[in-house]
């Protein structure tokens, strides 16, 4: 079974399936417990992943020390003592599994301290405990979660309808249960599940391999529940069929060869995206074959603190799509269970399934210098015809000189005081906005290439 056609995030060169370095620019291409890591700073990202595991382990040790100190008090009620002992056992169990996964992935050496201005990828920012509950919903609740999985699968398949689904890309796949279910239900030739959360991807890799893991689930309100800590065995319903693959990468700049996939699915991804959705659409468009379908699934509940202009509604998303190379096909809303745990926590959620189809044409294509962020941006971009919408966009436009790449511009902006974290995202968002403006200023440019 062929693997996905992947490309280097630095130079956009297509990658051999077994290459340890890029044939175009010699960038390292590490493999972490069988999962390729394709980030422009993959070597540093490995160190950041290791630091996340180390922080998770330290947090567990601190919890165990605090519990031991409390248990030393001889005046505790018996029920309180039993609850704390169960909690300590759960923390110990979780720490043991996380250390095992870190060893398997070679993630035991934290990142070195950087003294110069660096521009990191988006990976590795949050603690491993973020989204920990999805591991149990996807792989640990057994039949209790069957309804949630089945209804999600049915709604996404409704969007795919009768279109070919032999090559499927799931962006923001998390612990990858939806990717697993889609791959089997569609009998897909290849399904690629992409995420940047190292723990979720590591557990998904074990599930795909047919392994099982025993983890402690900590109920959302462990003070009110009679089962504050529950031991769960995580396992897939059956072994993963050939062609199901995981990738550690940035889903907004997914490193795949253009025109590779028949279907792209983004489950709850626009909701979690902290940027303008128009920063995601070029990558989705590039990944699809002409006529391929993009299925956006989620409630459009945007994160707190997200810029209000980026908190798009259904009608705003439908308005954006045609100018981004998509034809809206259908929308459908339904009420589905969301993280309805065996202990009764969770909720019902109104979700939107939005289906759109890719229109082909270079007017919407993602230029190579945005697929390979270390490639020079050509002067032919004609940014002089565009009025930047903000001082940041003006600064970005002023740095396009025919030699600098998106990564070089982000690095220059960091030296000018822009925070390193998020600098590359801000630079690419600015370049995309300038590119849209340049194309709008040249209505007769159809047929030309960047």
Share of the chain above pLDDT 70, in %: 90
Question: Would you state the pLDDT for residue 115?
Answer: 42
CB 139 within 8 A of CB 207: yes
Give the global pTM.
Answer: 0.93
Question: Would you state the pLDDT for residue 254?
Answer: 93
On the 0-12 / 13-18 / 19+ scale of CB atoms within 10 A, 94 is: buried
Of 147-156, 290-299, 429-438, the one with minimum mean pLDDT is 429-438
Q: In this predicted model, what pLDDT tens digit does every residue of 211-261 receive, in sequence order? A: 999 999 987 665 555 667 889 999 999 989 999 999 999 999 999 999 999
Question: Would you state the pLDDT for residue 448?
Answer: 42
Q: In this predicted model, what pLDDT tens digit does every residue of 270-290 receive, in sequence order? A: 988 888 898 899 999 999 999
Question: Would you state the pLDDT for residue 117?
Answer: 52
Mean pLDDT of 405-433: 91
Of 111-120, 159-168, 209-218, 369-378, the one with minimum mean pLDDT is 111-120
| Residue 163 confidence (pLDDT) above 80 | no
Rounded Cα–Cα distance for residues 193 and 246 (Å): 5
Closest CA to 190 of 18, 17, 13: 17
| Residue 308 confidence (pLDDT) above 80 | yes
Instruction: Give the number of other Cβ atoms within 10 Å of residue 445's Cβ.
Output: 15
DSSP 302: P
CB 61 within 8 A of CB 95: yes
| Residue 79 confidence (pLDDT) above 70 | yes
Mean pLDDT of 3-13: 91
Rounded Cα–Cα distance for residues 188 and 176 (Å): 15
On the 0-12 / 13-18 / 19+ scale of CB atoms within 10 A, 221 is: exposed
CA distances from 268 to 158, 383, 402, 422 (A): 16, 34, 38, 21
Query: What rounded mean pLDDT belongs to the chain?
Result: 88
Rounded Cα–Cα distance for residues 16 and 89 (Å): 45
Tokens of 379: 């002067």
Rounded Cα–Cα distance for residues 247 and 254 (Å): 9
Of 127-141, 172-186, 363-377, the one with minimum mean pLDDT is 363-377
């Amino acid at each position: 079974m062929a693997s996905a056609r992947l490309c280097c995030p630095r130079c956009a060169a297509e990658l051999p399936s077994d290459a340890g370095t890029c044939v175009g620019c010699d960038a390292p291409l590490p493999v972490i417990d069988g999962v390729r890591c394709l980030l422009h700073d993959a070597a540093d990202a490995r160190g950041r992943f290791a630091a996340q595991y180390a922080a998770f382990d330290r947090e567990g040790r601190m919890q165990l020390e605090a519990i031991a100190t409390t248990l030393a008090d001889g005046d505790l009620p018996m029920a309180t003592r039993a609850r704390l002992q169960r909690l300590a056992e759960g923390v110990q169990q979780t720490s043991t599994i996380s250390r095992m996964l870190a060893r398997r992935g070679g993630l035991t050496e934290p990142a070195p301290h950087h003294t110069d201005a660096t521009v990191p990828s988006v990976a590795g920012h949050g603690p491993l405990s973020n989204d920990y509950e999805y591991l149990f919903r996807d792989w640990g609740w057994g039949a209790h979660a069957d309804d949630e999985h089945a209804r999600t699968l049915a709604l996404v398949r409704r969007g795919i309808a009768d279109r070919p689904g032999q090559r499927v890309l799931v962006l923001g796949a998390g612990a990858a249960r939806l990717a697993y279910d889609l791959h089997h239900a569609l009998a897909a030739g290849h399904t690629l599940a992409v995420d940047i959360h190292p723990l979720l991807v590591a557990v998904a890799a074990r599930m795909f391999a047919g392994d099982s893991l025993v983890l402690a689930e900590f109920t959302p309100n462990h003070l009110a529940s009679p089962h504050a800590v529950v031991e769960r065995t995580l396992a897939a319903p059956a072994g993963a069929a050939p062609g199901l693959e995981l990738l550690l990468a940035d889903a907004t700049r997914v490193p795949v060869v253009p025109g590779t996939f028949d279907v792209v699915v983004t489950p709850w991804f626009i909701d979690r995206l902290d940027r303008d959705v128009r920063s995601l659409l070029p990558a989705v468009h590039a990944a699809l074959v002409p006529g391929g379908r993009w299925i956006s699934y989620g409630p459009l509940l945007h994160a707190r603190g997200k810029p209000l202009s980026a908190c798009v509604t259904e009608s705003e998303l439908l308005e954006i799509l045609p100018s981004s190379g998509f034809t809206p096909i259908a929308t459908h809303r339904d009420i589905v269970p969301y993280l309805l745990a065996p202990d009764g926590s969770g909720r019902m959620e109104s979700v939107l399934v939005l289906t759109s189809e890719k229109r082909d044409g270079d007017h919407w294509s993602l230029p190579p210098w945005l697929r390979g962020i270390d490639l020079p941006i050509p002067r032919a971009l004609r940014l002089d015809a565009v009025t930047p919408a903000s001082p940041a966009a003006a600064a970005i436009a002023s740095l396009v000189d025919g030699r600098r790449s998106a990564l070089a511009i982000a690095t220059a902006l960091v030296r000018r005081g822009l925070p390193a974290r998020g600098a590359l995202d801000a630079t690419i968002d600015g370049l995309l906005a300038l590119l849209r403006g340049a194309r709008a200023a040249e209505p007769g440019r159809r047929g030309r290439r960047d």
